Structure 1
Amino acid sequence: MALDRWIALCLLGLCILYGYTAWFTMDASLAPFMRRNPIWPSTFPKVLSVLGISASFIILIGLEKGEEKIGEIDHRRLGDYFLGQALVLLGLMVVYALCLRPLGFLFSTSAFLIVGSFILGERKLHVMIPVAFIATGAVWYLVQEVLGIFLRPLPIFVGV
């Protein structure tokens, strides 16, 4: 079996476990007044589990490949697939998560977008920096002001 199908099989197991948790264990602990609501806290996890199970089945059956032959992933030649970039990006995600609270959302997210796009090969700083700042500012404004969820915009030592 190809590597993509093995990954789909693992994801299918995770989605089934996630779905079981969302459908059966999360709803049991709801307060009585919340049981009359049309949307419960478990609604989004239920939708995610159904979508994940569907996508995993599509990959397992092979429907996503269609008529044209897409090259299989050769696990013996993983070095040819930019594995270094992927691992550096995963490390950058971990650093981003660790820096989010002490350095603030605006600085951490902008730095993550700039360094991440540099790792992926973008070299036009005059495009990369404004796009990162605009995207970060827009997301912060939507989450903070529109949704009303507090995101620490500046580092802790600034005192906001």
Structure 2
Amino acid sequence: MALDRWIALIILLICLVYGYAAFFTMDQGMAPFMQRNPIWPSTFPKVLSVMAVCCTLIILLGLEKGSGGPKDGEIDYTRLGDYKIGQAAILLALMVAYALLLRPAGFLASTVGFLVLGAVVLGERRFHILIPVAAVAAGSIWYLVQEVLGIFLRPWPFFMGI
């Protein structure tokens, strides 16, 4: 079985567990007034799990494949060493570090750090442009979430008390 089908099988198993949780366990503790709503908190997870199961089944059954070998621009699974797997792994590690540092380091520091380090991994070397753009982007997102949407998002590290 090809690599794309193995990955689709793993995603299918995850989506089946997610779908089971969405269909059978998420709605049990709902308040009575919420049970009369047309859209429940589990509606989006249900739709997402059904769509993901359909997509993975299409990949598993090979319905998306055309005839012939890999075309220009497609990934050739027999030559994975030619791709920049190291960069992808570092970016995944940065995403995990960002998620873990979001509360202790605060939104602004962790977001600026993630954007700057991610750009450096991808090859950007103009720090005089990179750092201000990352700071403005993080500050803008924080302002929109905090002030416009009214959702508290800790901007600074927890030891600063803000």
**TM-score (normalised: structure 2):** 0.84
Q: How many residue pairs end up in the alignment?
A: 158
Greater RCO (Cα-Cα under 8 Å, separation 6 or more): 1
Please name the residue that 1:73 is paired with: 77
1:68-100: CA deviations, max 9, x gaps?
7344313xx544332222222222222222221
CA distance in 2, matches of 1:129, 1:66: 44
Q: Quick one: distance in 2 between partners of 1:28 and 1:140? A: 34
Task: Report the counterpart of residue 43 of structure 2 in structure 1.
Answer: 43
Which residue of 2 is the match for residue 20 of structure 1? 20
Report % sequence identity.
Answer: 65
Q: Residue 85 of structure 1: which of 84, 87, 90 is its match?
A: 87
Q: How far does residue 152 in structure 1 lie from its aligned partner after superposition?
A: 0.4
The Cα RMSD (Å) is 2.2
Residue 96 of structure 2, aligned match among 94, 98, 102: 94
Q: 1:38 to 1:111 in 2, by over 3 A?
A: same
Unaligned runs of 5+ in 2: none
Q: What SS is found at the alignment partner of 2:77?
A: coil
User: 1:86, 1:65 → 2: CA distance?
Assistant: 25
Contact 1:16-1:49 at 8 Å conserved across structures: yes
> Could you say if the C-alpha distance between residues 125 and 26 of structure 1 is closer, same or farther in structure 2, counting changes exceeding 3 Å?
same
TM-score, normalised to structure 1, is 0.85
Matches of 1:25 and 1:95, distance apart in 2: 30
Deviation at 1:27, TM superposition (A): 1.6
Code of the residue aligned with 2:51 in structure 1: it is L
